[in-house]
Amino acid sequence: MRRLIIQAVNHSKAGHLGGPLSAADVLTVLYFKILRIDPERPHWPDRDRFILSKGHSAIGLYSVLALRGFFPVDELMTFDQINSRLQGHPDMTKLPGIDMSSGSLGQGLSPGVGMALGAKLLDKDFHTWVMLGDGEIQEGQIWEAALVAEHYNLDNLTAILDYNGLQQYGWTASLANGKRQPRISIDNPRQRWEVWGWHVLEMDGHNVGNILETCRKARTMKGKPTLIISHSIKGKGVSFMENDYNWHSKVLTEAEFAQAMADLARPVEGE
């Protein structure tokens, strides 16, 4: 999947890399083991819903959808081209399998709350999952949605925070490398979300067994919504991209492309 991400972004000469690579393992476990979905029936009313609120990681979502059989893997090479169904940010009106358009950060949890509330009102048992970025949760709309989810006791809603510590131009925490950073802190998300009335779980976002176990547990949590803090590494899998915000979104040179593909030819840890 990571190789497909690199190939598609390299081919289009545009798109994000760090964020999709940090989310790749979680997306894989969700789409292959957790979500109740059917690629043959992308609009099945009883399917689980998934919203990639950090929509700039679209190529990660497209890759897993293709591998799961929603559309041909070859189509990934149309990524970000005019008239492609695979735009730089997910478009639910174009591509079956996308439950919500996204890209303007901060807006994905609100429709997730609506879907989860809708399921309760209609007495349906599907679960709604929303993936958030740690830079993204500085957005006030996320805070409002979190409070509404708690108000309605939406235990059929799970948010997964891709906690890679980086956003577009640097660290998300107020204190990084011993230096105070001039940006709003999202340190200690556990404390904040617990105060907002959510269950909070944590997992290693690159350990498939741990992701599987934690997501299964989230589905069974009762009484209130659940946040999973997924500890991850931005750029995971490509040596020179890991923990470097410069690779948030950048075009690869030929040599960098070759190095990235070589890095990703290594066996996956723990496989």
Which residues contact ligand TPP by CB under 6 A? 18-19, 22, 54, 56, 103-106, 133-136, 162, 164, 166-168, 172, 234, 248
Q: Which is nearer to ligand TPP, 166 or 201 (CB)?
A: 166
Detail the DSSP E strand segments found in 13-60. Answer: 49-52
Q: Which is nearer to ligand TPP, 131 or 157 (CB)?
A: 131
Which CB, 16 or 199, lies closer to ligand TPP?
Answer: 16
Long-range contacts at 77-85 (CB < 8 A, ≥ 24 apart): 77/7, 77/8, 77/11, 79/8, 79/9, 79/11, 79/12, 79/15, 80/12, 80/14, 80/15, 81/12
Q: How far is the CB of 70 from ligand TPP (least distance, A)?
A: 22
Q: Which is nearer to ligand TPP, 126 or 245 (CB)?
A: 245
Please identify, using beta-carbon distances, which residue of 52 and 113 lies nearer to ligand TPP: 52
- Secondary structure of residue 204 in the 3-state scheme: strand
Closest CA to 250 of 4, 3, 1, 20: 20
Which token pair is 213?
């176990």
Rounded-to-integer distance, Cα 147 and Cα 143, Å:
6
Q: Closest distance between ligand TPP and the C-beta of residue 106, in Å?
A: 6
Q: How far is the CB of 163 from ligand TPP (least distance, A)?
A: 9
Residue number closest to ligand TPP, CB atom: 133
Question: Looking at the DSSP assignment, which residues form a beta bridge with residue 52?
Answer: 131
Q: Which is nearer to ligand TPP, 103 or 118 (CB)?
A: 103
Which residue is listed with tokens 């879907």?
Answer: 115
Q: At its nearest, how many Å lie between ligand TPP and the CB of residue 74?
A: 26
CB of 44 to ligand TPP, least distance (A): 29
Sign of the CA dihedral with 181 first, then 102, 26, and 160 last: positive
Closest CB 17 distance from ligand TPP, rounded Å = 9
Neighbours of 172 (CB within 10 A): 24
Q: Specify burial of residue 180 (Cβ count, 10 A radius: 0-12, 13-18, 19+).
A: exposed
